[in-house]
Amino acid sequence: MKTGKFIYKCTDCDREYSSSEIRYFCPSCSKGNNTAAPPGGVLKTLYDYDLIRKSISGFEELKQNCFCKLMPLEDMRSLPPLRVGNTPLYTVGELNGEKLPVSIHLKDDSQNPTWSYKDRASAIVSAYAAENNLGTIVTASTGNAGSSMAGICASHRQKAVIIVPEAVRLTRLTQIIICGATVVPITGTYDDAFDLSVKATEEFGWYNRNTAFNPLTIEGKKTASFELFEQLRFQIPDRIFIPAGDGVIASGIYKGFEELLLLNLIDRMPVIVIVQSDKSDNLIRNLDLNTFMIRSSSTIADSISVDRPRNFYMTRQYIRKYDGEAITVSDEDIMKAAKMLAINTGIFAEPAAAAAFAGLLSYRESERLSAGSSNVVLLTGSGLKDLRSVTTALKTPSAVDPTIKNLEKLLK
Ligand SMILES: [Zn+2]
């Protein structure tokens, strides 16, 4: 491994490791990992913040060369050629014709190359692999991570091996296969796919992209914080609503803002609101429990349907440190929010992303958004990724004879 500009710190025991020493979990804290609880030993990537602070005069200088100083890469030209990140932020002034007393900003990450937030992580993983001569990248996936890795690897001429539980829907596999990745469906669950990918990493020397297992996934996911700060004209939003499954996006957003704080570029943190479906709430439900209790997940928001949140301990640390908030919403609310979002903005979000919007709507209904506040919703993926869950909730009109009379009838 070449790079020495960053180190790893274990989330659980605080031990620090050189980045040439290990690549994945903290060896001592991951020893007892089992399927009954989230994994211990997830690493955080740290840079020399004192040195960076002294070397920059402000945000503009930090931004130069794609925030290179805060990236685990030697050269930002190692990044894949597709445009990842720099997604639009839209401001919504009214909903259903009603003027809003608060600002709502939508960060539309469906505009990434494979239509999801996962591309931010895949791009960093792909670039790191290129710099370290790791020709094959493997990941366990239930959909978005796999299609993202497949697309990013195709653009970078790298090999991708995607291990999926056999229950993964065909629509999700299509995107992986069309990009030329090797798909390995296995009998079993995401956990089994995860375990096989780790064994393959050990056996074949492949680079492993698994969320949270590979600490650099968080480095990719933090980049939206920098963009938000700039897009909001260097103001910190009051709240950011984030859909949560494993907790990696929330941790990434926290880490991005925390780094700006460490560099004295901001003086307060936004309040992060993590949003889960009440049918997959293992992260939120366990926040205050001493022993982790898994409840089987079955939400329509399948990209946040998670039994063992892989980044649970880090996310919980951040929530406690920065007074984060959490809310669960029903699947019915998620579908309503998806429709409301589409009708009002033209953005067709995947159910997981709509969950974050449902969280905001719930805050609004219970008058928890103070007048004049600035609120961001992270829209993490496109609704076109998985039409099945949506089509069942929509009424499609039947065909009629092409007459004006029938047209008038339909318009009513
Ligand atoms: Zn440790």
pLDDT at 87 (0 to 100): 98
Which domain CATH number covers 229?
3.40.50.1100
Q: Which residues pair with 241 in a beta bridge?
A: 273, 377
Residue 59's CB: how many other CB atoms inside 10 A? 16
Q: Is residue 174 part of a domain?
A: no
Contact 65, 26 (CB under 8 A): no
pLDDT at 190 (0 to 100): 85
User: Cα 29 to the chain's mean position, in Å?
Assistant: 24
User: Domain of 363?
Assistant: 89-114+217-391
Distance 102 CA to ligand 1 centre (A): 42
1 pLDDT exceeds 70? Answer: no
Q: Which residues pair with 331 in a beta bridge?
A: none
Residue 4's CB: how many other CB atoms inside 10 A? 10
pLDDT tens digits along 32-83: 899 899 999 999 999 999 999 999 999 999 999 889 999 999 999 999 999 9
Please state the domain count of the chain.
Answer: 1
Structure tokens at 278: 């009440």
Q: Is residue 368 part of a domain?
A: yes
Q: Is residue 4 part of a domain?
A: no
From 96, 195, 69, select the one nearest 138 (Cα to Cα): 195
- What whole-number distance in Å separates Cα of residue 339 and Cα of residue 347? 9
pTM score: 0.96
Distance 19 CA to ligand 1 centre (A): 15
Distance 8 CA to ligand 1 centre (A): 10
Local structure of residue 287 (DSSP, 8 states): T
pLDDT at 2 (0 to 100): 42
Distance 25 CA to ligand 1 centre (A): 8
Distance 240 CA to ligand 1 centre (A): 29
pLDDT band, residue 393 (cuts 50/70/90) = confident
Name the residue with tokens 């297992």.
213
Q: Is residue 51 part of a domain?
A: no
Q: Is residue 314 part of a domain?
A: yes
Distance 13 CA to ligand 1 centre (A): 4
pLDDT tens digits along 222-270: 999 999 999 999 999 999 999 999 999 999 999 999 999 999 999 999 9
pLDDT tens digits along 307-317: 999 999 999 99
pLDDT at 167 (0 to 100): 82
In this prediction, residues 326-345 reach a mean pLDDT of 96
Distance 263 CA to ligand 1 centre (A): 26
Distance 28 CA to ligand 1 centre (A): 6
pLDDT tens digits along 125-174: 999 999 999 999 999 998 889 999 999 999 999 999 999 998 887 777 89
Distance 29 CA to ligand 1 centre (A): 4
pLDDT tens digits along 23-32: 999 999 999 8
pLDDT at 232 (0 to 100): 98
Mean pLDDT of the chain: 94
From 347, 373, 393, select the one nearest 104 (Cα to Cα): 373
Q: Is residue 107 part of a domain?
A: yes
Q: CB burial class (10 A; 0-12, 13-18, 19+) of residue 321?
A: exposed
Q: Is residue 192 part of a domain?
A: no
- What whole-number distance in Å separates Cα of residue 354 and Cα of residue 12? 32
Q: Coil, strand, or helix at residue 268?
A: coil
Q: Is residue 48 part of a domain?
A: no
Distance 215 CA to ligand 1 centre (A): 13
Name the residue with tokens 């990013």.
152
pLDDT band, residue 328 (cuts 50/70/90) = very high
